[in-house]
Structure 1
């Protein structure tokens, strides 16, 4: 039993590095510099994709749902696209002072140049800088080779500048807001930070998280202005059914905060015919399972989706095109960890997109990845 537990923990740690970009400190190069405890970590990552029926992959060979053709365009699509890159590779450094002040700076190379991921400091529960949004949880995520993972995962699933306070299982933050008003153009503005609160904990074989977010969505043209209140919420959980099998998932709802509805690419609001800011609502979710086969091998299968209500916005003339209303994806992979700090895997991805008018389309892709951690 003890060896199975160690194996399961190793696979989960490797999966977290591959999917969410959290570089595992267990494999970091640690040393002391003066009175500071230092750690340098990262990985080299190769990603390759073969898009079977449409050219739908972007950097890191992640699935780009906006590239799925719909309607008549789907009947004239080309087939068979191959691509490969190593831009997901990253490096980071952590330093902890004798007083307990921790500083973390990390970058990767997506989409082709050095990109800042994390740059923050923390002390005594107070964090300031850029790191994962507090309106994010990974406990319900299914491990995928796709760097951006499944649509509908819990919260923002990315990093943002913020000030955060954590006490036990509770954390609160004021963050750089992520707003998008369909027909506001350059007049869109952020009048206040996004405010979040999150609870994340575990009990026995269950890990769980729940969070809420509130923000202001507004615009100001100089002669006209308006604003509205937007909010988002999610719940996420992961349950270990046995030592070898887990099930996990998440549910999200947003209204005036669709930038936090993961991978929906939907606007949060639009300006109505009377000049008022009208919010757009949406929902999403994921469900999946992870199966540890032993010997450093695992299988993961997950499904995710998002849908937004665009009928009123389209009726008000907020869009000149036919916007995406819903997306969904199924991802299934096989991963192998032949030795510590090395992961290889292959994944099949199938996705659908539907626009507000009812036109829809689908696409599929196969991906391969090899990752070497330090």
Structure 2
């Protein structure tokens, strides 16, 4: 009985998913069936947004997108609300140590909301994980909480989930993953992405570092041309509790031929030059933020992020070069399973020719966890 209680407590502790835009962790309820201890977790969530300038809201979750520099849709005042971010998940652990997690939300494949979308579907045993979950080239250590679902640009690594096989031993993990990115004509994946990550903590200091390599390749049978170029990426992230009230966080990420892993950069991994050679595009991003606990379940969070691509060789003044955004929010947790918050968000995009466009928006969120 005591071991079962311990296992249930562990399941409750680990069932809460750390995600962008989630201000409070889900509190799972658990049950047992034979040799399996299981938990069901999730939340119902309302997002409301008001775009002061150009309408950059995603209809499914009301998070903000970066404005298009050559867009003339700068029409003031857009309001919208959505509940598609709401999610549900099931986690089950067998007495022999096999764990399975399946989780979904209601944003659909097109992010417009309404249909169930698979987020996590994986199993793990003895340090080996197989299925779909957060990329191993990812860490939330340096991420400051936002109400905006997509969050701040430049955070550590790939900001979504991918299919993979991963092995974890202590603070180290290694994975073979479905590669992301591309963007050039006739691109193909000839090999998986290979990732390695170190993540650990000591007292009030937490840190993470990771590296990735992937192959970029294209094959044009019409013109009988093909080429390949290796891409790679590295990031570092950290957080530090300066006191019981204040925590600071940050991350830096460098990519070359792997801009699909430079979060919210919107950049291609490579381009095909006039000679038919595949040339990689490099980029850099970073974020910094701070959280202040006011007590009584109240926090203030502020964060800034930026990505910049080296697109000078494209000789295209309309090519996207820089994305930056910033958020300030107030979150209140009146009871354990409820969070409410308000947030101001700023977005700015600039192209290689020096033209830029920005957007300002307000957001309200209410989340009820179970």
Query: Does the TM-score normalized on the shorter chain lie above 0.5?
Result: yes
For 1:278 and 1:70, the matched residues in 2 are separated by: 25
Deviations 1:196-239 (A, max 9, x none): 00000001110000000000000112222110000001000000
Gaps of 5+ in 2: 1-13
SS, match of residue 20 in structure 2? helix
Q: What is the 5 A alignment of 1:220-369?
A: 220-222=219-221, 223-313=224-314, 315=315, 322-369=318-365
Correspondence 1:109 to 2:109: no
TM-score (normalised: structure 1): 0.90
Q: Residue 134 of structure 1 corresponds to which residue in structure 2? A: 136
SS, match of residue 57 in structure 1? coil
For 1:34 and 1:224, the matched residues in 2 are separated by: 59
Q: Residue 30 of structure 2 corresponds to which residue in structure 1? A: 30
Count of residue correspondences: 349
In the TM superposition, residue 18 of structure 1 has moved relative to its aligned partner by: 6.3
CA contact (8 A) 1:18 1:145 kept: no
CA contact (8 A) 1:106 1:117 kept: yes
In the TM superposition, residue 70 of structure 1 has moved relative to its aligned partner by: 3.0
Q: What is the 5 A alignment of 1:159-178?
A: 159-178=161-180
CA contact (8 A) 2:246 2:292 kept: yes
In the TM superposition, residue 276 of structure 1 has moved relative to its aligned partner by: 1.1
CA contact (8 A) 2:20 2:151 kept: yes
SS, match of residue 210 in structure 2? strand
For 1:288 and 1:343, the matched residues in 2 are separated by: 20
CA contact (8 A) 1:344 1:369 kept: yes
For 2:246 and 2:268, the matched residues in 1 are separated by: 37
Q: Residue 10 of structure 2 corresponds to which residue in structure 1? A: none
Q: Residue 10 of structure 1 corresponds to which residue in structure 2? A: none
SS, match of residue 75 in structure 2? coil
Correspondence 1:88 to 2:85: yes
In the TM superposition, residue 272 of structure 1 has moved relative to its aligned partner by: 1.2
For 1:343 and 1:23, the matched residues in 2 are separated by: 6
For 2:349 and 2:157, the matched residues in 1 are separated by: 20
Distance 1:335 1:241, change over 3 A: same
Q: Residue 211 of structure 2 corresponds to which residue in structure 1? A: 212
In the TM superposition, residue 254 of structure 1 has moved relative to its aligned partner by: 0.2
For 1:23 and 1:127, the matched residues in 2 are separated by: 26
Q: Which runs of 4+ in 1 moved over 6 A?
A: none
SS, match of residue 260 in structure 2? helix
Deviations 1:332-370 (A, max 9, x none): 000000111100000000111101111111110000000
Correspondence 1:47 to 2:44: no
Deviations 1:21-72 (A, max 9, x none): 69946x101010111000000000000100001101113111100xx2536x
Distance 1:262 1:125, change over 3 A: same
Distance 1:245 1:371, change over 3 A: same
For 1:310 and 1:77, the matched residues in 2 are separated by: 26
CA contact (8 A) 1:188 1:219 kept: yes
Q: What is the 5 A alignment of 1:188-203?
A: 188-203=187-202
For 1:30 and 1:323, the matched residues in 2 are separated by: 51
SS, match of residue 279 in structure 2? strand
For 2:23 and 2:193, the matched residues in 1 are separated by: 24
Give the number of the structure whose residues are more often helix, by fraction: 1
In the TM superposition, residue 17 of structure 1 has moved relative to its aligned partner by: 5.0
TM-score (normalised: structure 2): 0.91
Deviations 1:281-313 (A, max 9, x none): 000000010000000100000000000011112
CA contact (8 A) 1:69 1:77 kept: no
CA contact (8 A) 2:23 2:146 kept: no
